[in-house]
Structure 1
Amino acid sequence: MSTIVITGGTRGLGFGLAQSLLERGHQVVVCGTDPERAEQAGAELGGIMSRAADVADREQLQALWEAATARYGRVDVWINNAGVSQTREPSWLLPADQARRVVDVNLLGVLNGCAVAMAGMAGQGGGHVWNMDGLGGDGRVVPGLSVYGATKRAVAYLTTALAKEVPDGVGVGLLSPGMVVTDLLTYGYSDAERRRAAKMLSILADRVETVAPWLAERAIAQARNGARVRWLTPAKIAYRFATAPFSRRDIFTP
């Protein structure tokens, strides 16, 4: 049994990961920015520890670490899952407060999580940190998502660099979930844009309940320094496009 902390674990993929890890017998702690949703998520997940915390504030993540270790003694795995997207428009048109929030959560939040978790894990003698990969992490560019993509590109670099800096016994790696149907994926689409994107999404995107169990297994089994766990591999992408004319995937209908 491992103890796992998941930031942004009160909704979306983070919530799905928490469910999947709990089903496998692990102890899970989650956080989110909305206090009411954090309380609700904790109840929905069987009464687990669920706290309100803003990842952009390192002191709040430190308090999360201390609460988790006070209850369970140690944290074996920390998953920096919290993330936000942006309105789909050129970066020069993006309001300054929205751009700052994307950077604060997606990049500074990951850096804060890594700093808190790695220091704590060094003190307890080991552990593993996972950072969440996303659009831009591999250098791919999508117009209208430049700020979001830039943060994910930075997270990929940060994770690679941290793998060379970690304390003895501590590891860091990337979890790459691909395109998952959550608010993060669909945020900012107009109705017309969503209709245009529907064909591509129907080929490449997956539901939380498909991806989360797969990632949960590997978040424990493949917790090695420098590891990169990727759901949507190039081979899988090629297969889906090749078989798309013969399949009917509707990932938006439950």
Structure 2
Amino acid sequence: MTKRMIDIATADGPCRAGLFVPDGAAKAAVILFMDIFGPRPALDSMAERLVAIGHAVLVPDLFHRFGDRPLFDPRTAFADAATKERLFGMLRATTQAMTMADTGAFLDALSAEGFDGPVGVTGYCMGGARALNAAAAFPDRIAAAASFHGGNLATDADDSPHRRAADMKARIYVGAAGVDGSFPPDQAGRLAEALRAAEVDHMLETYAGTKHGWCMPDHPVFDVAGAERHWSRLETLFSETLAA
């Protein structure tokens, strides 16, 4: 496996991204949309897990508009009020529209690297909604999209992913935490109904006993069994939808 840091040109300046490529031929490319804590070794390890099953993986910094920043530790970041506000301020200022514009640049960058076929996306926390919206924004390129402990997937907001279900051609997988205030049962029902009405191939699962953030190996609520289940679902999703 090789890892390179690349700068991707976007409308708002360069976006730094890690590109992970297997030693042999890659099955297909995957974009990993970060959680609120941003690029860090934990995301690298998750990318490496996908590389191990044969995928090239792009891990972009969705907060690139804010320049260089320290590494945020999920175990301590929210304990400090100023750091917590900084993170949520960046989240509020990075709109779904911005990330969709960036995603077009990400896909172009993958094509330039030789990965011009169907792409998979997987997102965590804030990245979950962005993964689903990406499937709607780029239906002819994104063949599979997954959200894990993603929040605000079916709200009253204009950019809520459920509103764009009719634009999705990808297979969709949503893994929800057992109890998650950012994705309560009423949102789950609304999302499921929107996907069914649009005849989107999809699966929604609740990981009972887990909390928001359970997939992230450096998160205080990391759940080993739940994380392994998530990897199993993700491998199946990508193996069934992305061309070899």
Higher-Rg member (1/2): 1
Bucket of the pairwise TM-score, normalised by the shorter protein = 0.3 to 0.5
Instruction: Please state which structure has a larger fraction of its residues in helix.
Output: 1
TM-score (norm 2): 0.46
The alignment's TM-score, normalised by the length of structure 1, stands at: 0.45
